[in-house]
Structure 1
Amino acid sequence: MTRKIGTEEAIKRWNRFADAYAANHTELGDIHKEVFLNPAIFSLIDTVKNKRVLDAGCGEGYFSRLLAKAGAAVTAVDYSPRMIDIAKERTPDDLPIEYRHGNCEDLNMLEDKSFDLIISNMVMQDLADYEKAFQEMHRLLTDRGCFIFSILHPCFITPESGWEKSKDGKKLHWNVDQYFYEGTYEQKLGERENMLFFHRTLTSYMNTLMKTGFMLEGIIEPKPSEEMLKKYPSFEEDFRCPDFIVFKLKKR
């Protein structure tokens, strides 16, 4: 763990990991997005038809495409140039998505109050300056606009967390440690190098959102539906503790 590594290093690593990351994504995203995040996020959205929507941290663009197919006018940004290239390659010409390279900590190329809805799916833990990112989301929303974002659950996915296993490999319980550490830690995702994540407490997230000018409208700790369990029985273990948390906020 180190507090000194910032967003610039995270960008370099995600850019190198982009092709391998995208290879694991279908038009519904990866398996965790299909099972947990997509249903949770869409349950918090009233409608996107004819709305101006920002996909803040779009990755390879699957969620942007889902939004556009549902009738939204989508602008999508990502801080990895390679991710943006892949998203453009995967997007049919008839989908109204404007892809732009940009870091959510500073989206000065986008005008104030440009969007009715902002979605940020598994992005905020990839940013060192989450306070600035929240300020940017607030600036870009219309009055009473909504901001929905998902992250790794900070109470359970910590710099030192993982399964405690028996000698024969049975999962006994989930260990959590270093919850109050706030800073950078590494997690193995790709084969070439570890990815960087920026941990902060639930208190820090909530206090920063309120200070920025957001009101909490809803919160979900996603768990697998019966339909998803039939498709992916191994996710039964996810009833033991949540991996993700999803927030819906409104601009005051």
Structure 2
Amino acid sequence: MGYKDHPQFWQKQQPRVVGDVLNRPYAIELLGDIRSKTVWEVGCGTGYVARLLAKNGALVYGCDREESMLALAVKEEALGIRYSLQDITSTDYEDQFFDAVLCVGVLIHNSQGKIKKFLEEAYRTLKPSSPLVIGVTHPVLFAPGSPSRSGKRCWVQHRPLEDKPYSYFESQMFREDYYDKDGDCFTSSVYSHPVSAYVNLPIRAGFRLTEVKEISFPKELTSEGWGMAYGYPAFIHLKFVKPT
């Protein structure tokens, strides 16, 4: 099961999963003022984030490698968004074309080798002094003892559970079960990259790190049955800038 097989899970107009509340809005905020800016939304899927960007005044380009996801995206509000079927590691965008690049919930689905190639592409297509914002599930969730590996109800579960040998510093593959507010589940394969990988790979690609934000689980969501304690890390956001 994955994006190709279950695209309807991501067809939405309103927040549906925890990431819609704690991940995507905060990542967009890190971009700063995007009015009249040209923004690349990486791995745009069904276009939910692309539409948020467009409604904030951006000229949005969204690419994805799954045709089934893009087929749903083009059925929603157009908002001037340019969608294309492309792999994020090799695109046909021009050099120094974008004013900003946003990559949310995508890199955990890629090996470090592919992340490196994507970052080279992001660096090539970004204008100097422009931001790259990355948002991912917090790596601490993959550790034994975390809510997502307990087997109990949680907004996300990483399997195998406690019986999987684990080293924080090694990128390992897990099966991720991601639940929405109605209890429906989306399953895909993800990597448990350490924070150092998300920091150092962009730096090696030429970017400069300017800000890191860790998003914890708020009190208002703990009472809604998401299965995570108040204050536990949920997502991490990193803002980089391409030097002048």
- What interval of TM-score do these two structures reach, taking the shorter chain for normalisation? 0.7 to 0.9
| One-letter amino acid matched to 1:40 | Y
- 1:175-214 correspondence to structure 2 within 5 Å: 177-189=166-178, 194-214=187-207
After TM superposition, give the deviation of residue 31 of structure 1 in Å. Answer: 2.5
Of residues 130, 148, 152, the one that matches 2:133 is: 148
| Structure having the larger proportion of residues in helix | 1
After TM superposition, give the deviation of residue 239 of structure 1 in Å. Answer: 2.6
The alpha-carbon distance between structure 1 residues 160 and 79, as it changes in their structure 2 partners (threshold 3 A), is farther
Distance 2:29 2:107 in 1: 20
Partner of 1:72: 58
C-alpha contact (below 8 Å) 1:29/1:63 kept by paired residues: no
RMSD: 3.1
Structure 1 stretches of 4+ with a deviation exceeding 6 A read 190-193
Of residues 111, 119, 122, the one that matches 2:102 is: 119
Partner of 1:100: 84
Say whether 1:134 aligns with 2:119.
yes
Query: Number of aligned pairs?
Result: 228
Distance 1:159 1:18 in 2: 30
Is there any run of 5+ residues in structure 2 with no aligned partner, and where? 155-160
Distance 2:55 2:153 in 1: 43
C-alpha contact (below 8 Å) 1:105/1:136 kept by paired residues: yes
Report the TM-score when normalising by structure 2.
0.81
Say whether 1:39 aligns with 2:25.
yes
| One-letter amino acid matched to 2:198 | Y
The alpha-carbon distance between structure 1 residues 240 and 230, as it changes in their structure 2 partners (threshold 3 A), is closer
The alpha-carbon distance between structure 1 residues 126 and 249, as it changes in their structure 2 partners (threshold 3 A), is same
Of residues 37, 42, 49, the one that matches 2:35 is: 49
| One-letter amino acid matched to 1:127 | N
